[in-house]
Amino acid sequence: VLIISDIEEAKQELKEMLSGMFGDASKTVVIEEFLSGIECSVFVLTDGDSYKILPVAKDYKRIGEGDTGLNTGGMGAVSPVSFADDVFMKKVEDRIVIPTIEGLKKDKIVYKGFIFLGLIEVKGEPMVIEYNVRMGDPETEVVMLRIKSDFVSLLEGVATGTLESKLLEIDSRYAVTVMLVSGGYPGDYEKNKEMSGLDKVKDSILFHAGTKLENNKVLTNGGRVIAISSYGETKNEALSLSFKNADVISYDKKYYRKDIGFDLK
């Protein structure tokens, strides 16, 4: 992939690519519009006919603070997302969600479940980066916290085609999650580090990712170890709870990002 900001340079690179710059791999070239903006994840639950839009979230994929370094499976997430206001979400619904559901129906694809829209906000406009047919991680660890309604009932609605009649009530509070990882992740890291302090965690919800129980001890068992999710009236209030509990949990070479949510109001 080449990211180019100058038309003459683009023409030159294109010529070279088509003349074999990357061998067979550049015999065909796809040109896409460059999108500069900030990403968010929108989750839609559908029974194939009606749909519900779940709380919007933003994840943090890079290992380093300020979104630097290697990509990971996710270092944290925040919901709601300040720029995804009612005006933005109306555009998402009208331009992306409804055409997606209608398109599935038109193509006679019976799809029941989650649709994950990976979006980017470009000057106030939502653009689609990717579709997935699943929830997202670590977005799930904040989205689920904000769903006040009985989630099983919503899933029953999906299975039985009665989603429209189901209530989706959303908690107005912020939910955030901070992922504790093993030192060295996403490169080489060691497992089997004994964890302590889990019983001292207060006012947060722990989602175990890479842990295991052995001889009554909790040990690390992966790169992404545990997600610490918290509520708050503000983003910072929720984050300070997660960070406080991140300090309470100990294991050798623990690492977490202390700037989750840094780019949102």
- Which positions lie near ligand GLY, rule CB under 6 A? 59, 74, 132, 136-137, 139
CB of 93 to ligand GLY, least distance (A): 21
Q: Are 246 and 195 in contact (CB under 8 A)?
A: no
Q: Look-up: residue for tokens 């009208």?
A: 94
Nearest to 249 by CA among 214, 190, 208: 208
Q: Considering beta carbons, is residue 74 or 126 the nearer one to ligand GLY? A: 74
Q: Look-up: residue for tokens 């100058």?
A: 6
CB of 126 to ligand GLY, least distance (A): 17
CB of 264 to ligand GLY, least distance (A): 16
Q: Considering beta carbons, is residue 143 or 158 the nearer one to ligand GLY? A: 143
Q: 116: how many CB neighbours lie within 10 A of its CB?
A: 17
Q: Considering beta carbons, is residue 22 or 262 the nearer one to ligand GLY? A: 262
CB of 204 to ligand GLY, least distance (A): 20
Q: How far is CA 59 from CA 40, 63, 156, 254, 265, in A?
A: 7, 12, 28, 20, 15
Q: Are 89 and 53 in contact (CB under 8 A)?
A: yes
Q: Considering beta carbons, is residue 185 or 251 the nearer one to ligand GLY? A: 185
Residue 72 phi, psi (nearest 5): -125, -175
Q: Considering beta carbons, is residue 59 or 121 the nearer one to ligand GLY? A: 59
Q: How far is CA 85 from CA 23, 40, 54, 236, 240, in A?
A: 46, 12, 14, 19, 24
CB of 132 to ligand GLY, least distance (A): 6
CB of 18 to ligand GLY, least distance (A): 33
Q: Considering beta carbons, is residue 143 or 195 the nearer one to ligand GLY? A: 143
Which residue number has the CB closest to ligand GLY?
Answer: 136
Nearest-angstrom CA–CA distance, 186 and 190:
11
Q: Are 115 and 131 in contact (CB under 8 A)?
A: yes
